[in-house]
Structure 1
């Protein structure tokens, strides 16, 4: 059956609504390209399908682009991008009723695929809207198929969809909250082929600008007790030892070694981290974590690692303390790694480092202080940095003297190693923003930072942040100048941003972070400390049974006749049935009236008039449903059927009045 314009429009609108939330989770350029293609194809196919050769060209071009962006590797994001690309070109072959239903069914995979990439409230809301529009489009197609499209309005269709959602919602909620959950899933979700923005085990000075202008949350922190000063909030991530003249990398084999011995200071910090998904095993912790939670471990350099990639929201409880001594004795192998520099790079920096070593007379701390004083006096902080050449540290220290944390930490460590002081680069986040509404700290990806650690006799590894030594008057280009929304925190938008992130944290706590352990403690506010599996199963069976009864009741209500005239005719039949004169299933209206006239002549005349009017409405002009009649006739007949109430008594009738009543009914 061919589609009319209304059904085609509904199909395209519903498919676009399903595609939109998925596009928002893809890389911006790829999502924009697929979105533009979908709009162009939808406009071209608004009236009729596209030629087969054009559909083939569009499909091959989009598939090639998606695979190219994903590096021809397959994962969650590549699969979702391919799904979006296929949905973008699907309207080009939609011609008939079967094609439209196939397209809507295919489009419904898109909002569900969105949840593989993001489980936020906005994705859920957009998915719900898309589902409602898709169901409405399917109802429009069904009305077209049965020839009832002109009778059912859009409002009535939406009302029917709302009834469907109300029928299934209680059962869905009972399954989510009470169906026994496993501690670990039966199968894993494929990893992503496109890495999320964030920290990695590799740092190349100048390549962090995209991360440092990303204002999205990286983690949220809730302290149990006092919180450290913001200037002491160093969130330790990957520790980088190896330098090839351009990039710093992390030796993988150090992850398997136990953490180095440290002597913590008396001040301890007890806190909970809520970490956004990164698809990496590397986590961060307040410098310096004292131990690792269950299913996690600390590496030799106190990097925190999960047993599997963090692909969902993760909560961990930690204790940290600044060390008095941290690996006071260092082995020969590690010392050699912390002093290693590639040959043929940065000759001016190495010459200066050797000069400082000679002038310091063996005082390592004096060399560190001298380097920090130089940074404070002559260097500036800016994100506007040129691309450095082969001798990147020489160019930064002696030519440009301006950069951001990557440049400062890299150059500082190379300078220290050149002076014979073991040093390494530490990456992570620094600082945080306190949300006064939720009383927690928010650390964004734009808070990414890199600093240095130098090894000093009798003290071990000591944190040194050369970026913090830059004088405030020499900070020319700050993160707030670039970070989206960063400049709003000092203005009137603070409360709005605090509320928005607090709501997102509540969503994470209520929905995204609801796991097996949280489910077991669901009834703790009611005095039940823990629900065992058998108790959960029993409670789920009870609530599911109630939900099914609710579904049956609403479904029965949904069987009510939609046509008000036919509904009133059935009510009239039930009234006569109470008198023992109800219409039998095999009887026509005329046969029923004849039987009623034999039993109750006083009722036959009025019933005959109503029956003639009903037959005229129902079957006039060979159409069903009364579409040939106007709204006034429908209301009048409905009112007449509802107000006619036969009685069990036989009233005395006037023959002349009966004749007059019959002629009046015929004129109507």
Structure 2
């Protein structure tokens, strides 16, 4: 089959081969868009490309304008009916894809070929609207080289080099332009906001919600998408202290927990900051939050108020949440300092604490009776004993699972006394309910727990599957808000490791061994995964998130580095070495007769004789005889030019001479 295709390609005329190469480039441009184009558009594009390929191979005439025009108008009408507009990212990209394929059917002049190529370059650029990963960039580079090969092919007027040679030439053109592109990327002033997005078009991933109900955390736990990455400036806290605080849920209506927090006035924020006391070690860290329609900054518990955020002004709420001014759907980077050992808001007034004691009426009677017992125990033996008693209940007979089953109206009663199966939202929500019913202020905190450290770059990767919910209880004016994680009582391995190792999934298609190998952090597969993750993170940090702040920091560091004369000397030495190696390689690759003649012309220039472009060696010899030089030099010079002319223009006597090149170099040496 391959030999048959190769033979068929060899029998193609030049016009057909050039057109098929252009069609291949167009297919490479259009293929990445099939994942988001409407189905009818993808089908139309494929049929049109197939039609154009058949026309090329059969040598048929292109369709007339009276047929193409109605088809184009129908396609534009389809775009409008699909999107209800012709403006915006999705309809714009769809129309460009249709325009490119229809233009392939309307190529009557050389100008039309270049219109197709330029449309392809423009449509290729729109890939960044949908993906900015490394794989997308590599695929675009390959497509650019094929497009350049097609463009170069149309420039040849005589014989055409083989396709491999044209691809190599296109690759060289790309490499020549690449340094200028890198220079523009590094030095051109950056703009605030995402470059590859249109207003209102960016969907963004919702990630963690600001409400919680049974099953809400389970859906996140099944996702392996990256939520954020964190890097510590120095040592990192133990795994069991990696609680990344997000929305705080204080309202409960019998089914759903929700927030009540609002950004505080700056004066109130300062007052709140004074209600936080740190003790023990501190951990400076940096977080790169992935894009998603969220308002929360996930901070390691408990971090300094007012982290340093690129492009945002964070604010505190009374529930110790950290918010940005508006819901953000772009990648964000921020830094802060965490203090795992802290005292938070110990001086709250009783009327303020009332909001964290409220419960809806008419729900969960069995839980209320149990809470009355806990309240009596609390009055007799203290808060710590009451909390420990509830946690002991969770340790005995409860199951941590992703499939807890459906719960009815009195969900807390059914979970605590009937099913006894749940995920983190069941344990934290029911614990807070019991604490409030027992008279102890409590609330639910959503966020993430843990993270996988990448040994390649030292970053912690926190995924959506690390989503977690825990509880906070106010333990009096000496201790303030204190974290209590009921899930740690039921499944302590979840806090020490990860959800994947706590609840291992059954891999489909008999790939369980491969899945277990990937979870083993010492295996070759895990090391490969870490390497790819580090590469993606570096791409995100230095390419996708190269914002104005990072650009200014980089340019300042670059300016300081170039201020060191040793670096400049090293760069100059390297540049000189590269030039010398290239010069020697060029000299060796040059014809020895031509090399000697160029050296001779340089000698003449030092004597004031500049060779004219149309001046031959014999005419030049006449001018040499007029120089005021010693007779033996004149003889050597004229002899050199005579022998050079004979060698270049085929005098038989010169060709028969033994080693004429050595004789030429000898005359060159005598003429110096």
Same fold (TM over 0.5): yes
Query: Which 5+ residue runs of structure 1 have no aligned equivalent?
Result: 532-538, 540-545, 551-572, 582-641, 651-668
- 1:461 aligns to what? 481
SS of residue in 1 equivalent to 2:468: strand
Q: How does 1:207-286 map to 2 (within 5 A)?
A: 207-254=216-263, 258=269, 259=272, 261-286=275-300
Residue 435 (str. 1) matches residue 465 (str. 2) = no
Q: For 2:425, what is the secondary structure of its paired residue?
A: helix
Aligned to 1:162: 171
Question: What displacement does 1:106 show?
Answer: 3.9
- For residues 390 and 46 of structure 1, the distance between their equivalents in structure 2, rounded to whole angstroms, comes to 63
Q: Which moved more, 1:215-224 or 1:302-311?
A: 302-311
Per-residue deviation at 1:17? 2.6
Task: Provide closer, same or farther for how the CA distance between residues 226 and 236 of structure 1 changes in structure 2, counting only shifts above 3 A.
Answer: same
* Counterpart Cα distance in 2 of 1:284 and 1:338: 22
Q: Secondary structure at the match of 1:397?
A: helix
Extract unaligned runs of 5+ from structure 2. Answer: 1-13, 56-62, 509-513, 569-574, 580-611, 621-645, 655-672
Structure-2 residue corresponding to 1:298: 316
CA contact (8 A) 1:273 1:315 kept: yes
After TM superposition, the structure 1 = structure 2 runs for residues 275-424 of structure 1, keeping only pairs within 5 Å, are: 275-294=289-308, 295-307=313-325, 309-331=327-349, 334-358=352-376, 360-361=378-379, 363-424=382-443
Alignment correspondent of 1:198: 207
Q: Take 2:170 and 2:20, find their aligned partners in 1: how far apart are those partners?
A: 18
The change in CA–CA distance for 1:473 and 1:311 in structure 2 (over 3 A counts) is: closer
Provide the C-alpha distance between the structure 1 equivalents of 2:400 and 2:545, rounded to a whole number of angstroms: 39
1:506 aligns with 538
Residue 187 of structure 2 aligns with which residue?
178
The answer to whether the 8 A contact 2:232-2:283 is kept is yes
CA contact (8 A) 2:454 2:530 kept: yes
* Partner SS state of residue 216, structure 2: coil
Maintained 8 Å contact 1:241/1:424: yes
1:127 to 129, 140, 163: 140
Change (3 A) 1:18 1:253: same
Q: Deviations over 1:37-78 (max 9, x none)?
A: 7556655664368988887787777776678xxxx9x9xxx9
CA RMSD of aligned residues (A): 4.6
Aligned to 1:451: 470
Contact 2:207 / 2:293 at 8 angstroms: preserved in 1? Answer: no
Q: Distance in 1 between matches of 2:125 and 2:93?
A: 12
Shift of 1:287: 0.1
Aligned residue for 2:24?
13
Distance of 1:481 and 1:91 partners within structure 2:
46
- Whole-Å Cα distance in 1 between the matches of residues 162 and 351 of structure 2? 79
Alpha-carbon contact 2:232-2:285 (below 8 Å) kept: yes
CA shift in 2, pair 1:220/1:193, >3 Å: closer
Name whichever of 98-107 and 279-288 sits farther off: 98-107
Contact preservation (8 Å) 1:383, 1:477:
no
* 2:121 corresponding residue in structure 1: 108
Check 1:434–1:356 CA distance in 2 against 1; reply closer, same or farther (3 A cut).
Answer: same
Residues 325 and 159 of structure 1: CA distance in aligned 2, closer, same or farther (over 3 Å):
closer
Q: Secondary structure at the match of 2:236?
A: coil
Change (3 A) 1:46 1:643: farther
Distance 1:100 1:66, change over 3 A: farther
Contact conserved, 1:21 with 1:127, CA < 8 A, in 2?
no
Is structure 2 residue 140 aligned with structure 1 residue 136? no
Deviation at 1:317, TM superposition (A): 2.4
How many angstroms apart in 2 are the aligned matches of 1:407 and 1:56? 56
Q: State the SS of the aligned residue for 1:341.
A: coil
Q: Which has the higher contact order (CA 8 A, sep 6+)?
A: 1
Deviations 1:397-443 (A, max 9, x none): 33322221122222222232233322211111111222222233222
8 Å contact from structure 1 (residues 21, 126) kept in 2: no
Higher alpha-carbon deviation: 461-470 or 184-193? 184-193
Cα gap change, 1:279 to 1:386, in 2 (>3 Å): same
Say which of 484, 498, 519 aligns to 1:489: 519
2:78 and 2:277 map into 1 onto residues whose CA distance is 60
CA distance in 1, matches of 2:244, 2:647: 78
CA 1:197–1:526 in structure 2 vs 1: closer, same or farther (change >3 Å)? closer
In structure 1, distance between residues paired with 2:183 and 2:129: 22
Separation of aligned partners in 2, 1:210 and 1:130:
38
